[in-house]
Structure 1
């Protein structure tokens, strides 16, 4: 497939493909990804039903207010990736 794309690009000329999207393939990075470890983490979630704000307990502010809207928060347990 790469050969066909290369031949097509060369046959059309480089001037005609200035806006073309370049495609690169690299299989090396797919095997090198570390395994994502999930764990149960305490988070503070916003009590407002229209807000989706939450924060990890480790990174929570002192006043425990929602970082997006400023409303009260409650403690929940979520399964999140380990940091």
Structure 2
């Protein structure tokens, strides 16, 4: 059987439990930027009956979670200008 691609392995990992980009990057030995690229592709190829769910980034200082880009981690909070922003978390559910 051929070896599974990184995207297939990331999708399998997200079916098992929610993970953020840092955890996936460490698990699959790729950069966080590469993980975000893979996540975007995985989101378009999730089989019918399943969906990629995203818990958006959230500012740990003020609780703001209305970021425009829900997939990438912003560097600063637009509300309080703090840099203590939690990464989004991803999971694939049926």
**TM score, norm. by length of structure 2:** 0.29
Q: Which has the larger radius of gyration?
A: 1
> Relative contact order (C-alpha < 8 Å, sep 6+): which is higher?
2
Greater percentage in helix = 2
**TM score, norm. by length of structure 1:** 0.32
